[in-house]
Chain A
Amino acid sequence: MPAALNEKIAGWEPLVVAFCCNWCSYAGGDLAGTSRLSYPANVKVIRVPCSGRLNPMFVLRAFQRGADGVLVAGCHPGDCHYSTGNYHSRRRLSSFKRLVEFAGFEPDRFEVRWISSSEGDKFADEMEAITGRIKALGPNRKMRDARWQSVT
């Protein structure tokens, strides 16, 4: 496959989709906001009730439709609002991440983080960090739907 898979084009800015659980990570994002911490506008946050709600197809759909990186953020293990949601997602997302890598995605394209509602600073740092890593990797063209460009 040509190196063009992640070749950079002038003016390209990464698009990172972050699925954040309502109770911890999304609240962490809120805290980052009220604390006036800044993080890159490349990150588009999508709120989910729990990291356990994450259907792996959400991740793949994001890649099909333009995401250069995907992050799932949930409560720290042990802190799940629904007690066990993130214990399950830890197993699921671990095996799913490996599968996605097996399909040829670079490990940095899909990540998972635990961010609590009091970790506004961690939220901002992680968003900064993933944006930086994706910037370094270049655009993602794997699994991108060839038709997507023409309908946007």
Chain B
Amino acid sequence: MAERYLAELTKIRDAVRQDLLGGRINLLLGWEKGHYWWQSRPLFAEDEKDLERLTWDSFCAVNLSRYLLDELKDYQKIGVLVKGCDSRAFNRLLQDNMIARERVVLYGLPCPGMLDYSLLTAVAGVAPEGIDEENGRVVLKTVAGEKTVERDQLLLYKCRDCLYPDPVVYDQLLLIPRGAKEAPERYKSVTALEELPADERYAYWDKELSRCLRCYACRQACPYCSCRECFVEQDKPRWQGRAYQASENFLFHLVRAYHGAGRCIDCGECQRACPVVIPLQELNRKLIKDLNELYGQFEAGLNAELEPPLLTYKPNDPAAFSEK
């Protein structure tokens, strides 16, 4: 895997170098290593020297499309490396008229799924000193020795049930497509919750949400949350109070999730950003599941031309309340 990544990185770097130096783009959004081998952070590359830091490995989880919102104010033309979810985030922004398609060059990177450091640690039992990857397995190297684990078991939550690892929109596809994936467990925890009695479900959410700091990082990380003024900060009327009360937690979480109805691309950036790991994707997926059941299969961000289910209707639509 290490060699594969290296070969892929060379390919990526060659392609973007040409465009950056040739002036096709003025900025490249990619990833670079942070302090640790398990962190790859956003890179804003303007020149050849910056490009030396470019990286591509199993930790490039951060969605870069969101940065376009700000960077397009400063740069005429921007290149972005997009994995499957990042490309759908791009479509999301495009559909919301937040960015101009012609000012962006998308380099598609079919994605192997990103790894979760906290899982690596949990599975290894101690903080691993490094990993090797080969043939769908990960070798965790620790002081106590090595441990080999199926790669699938170490994926970030957001990657475990990803349906579209290949970019759905791009100008150049730089790597070999991996093909659509099955995600049989995508709604597993949603269904399990649906089957609980109402009071138990309430107790579950009450407990999970009680951890919430209401820092709104989940919103900041989300590619559809680009409202100039979010309801949580709106002053008149003041919908969302700042107190740490269950009632305020529920209000925030139900409304945030609901604002994503038909818009959430299920990229999981919200949950990844959450410092206390609140299962936000269960709320998001509940909405995706219901809308699909009620109003037909729809995956947000697949095609920027298709109308999301809550922006349209059919006269003979079914209803989920007891009066049809």
Contacts and interface: CB of A to CB of B under 8 A. Distances in A.
B is bound to A: yes
Interface in A106-152: 106-107, 111-114, 142-148
Interface stretch (B76-84, B113-121, B194-202): B194-202
B261 interface: yes
Interface footprint category on B: 35 or more
A90 B243 CA distance: 33
Interface in A16-53: none
B185 interface: no
Contacts of A146: 245-247
B72 interface: no
Contact of A95 (B204, B287, B313): B287
Interface string B163-203: 00000000000000000000000000010011000111111
B225 interface: no
Interface residues of A, number: 44
Contacts of B254: 56, 60, 99-100, 103
Interface of A: 1, 3, 5-6, 56-57, 60-61, 63-64, 77-78, 84, 87-88, 90-107, 111-114, 142-148
The 3 closest A-B pairs by CB, nearest first: A104-B202, A1-B203, A94-B320
Interface of B: 190, 193-194, 198-206, 231, 239, 243, 245-248, 250-251, 253-255, 257-258, 261, 283, 286-287, 290-291, 294-295, 309-310, 313-315, 317-323
9 contacts: A56-B258, A91-B294, A94-B294, A94-B321, A95-B291, A98-B290, A105-B202, A143-B246, A146-B246
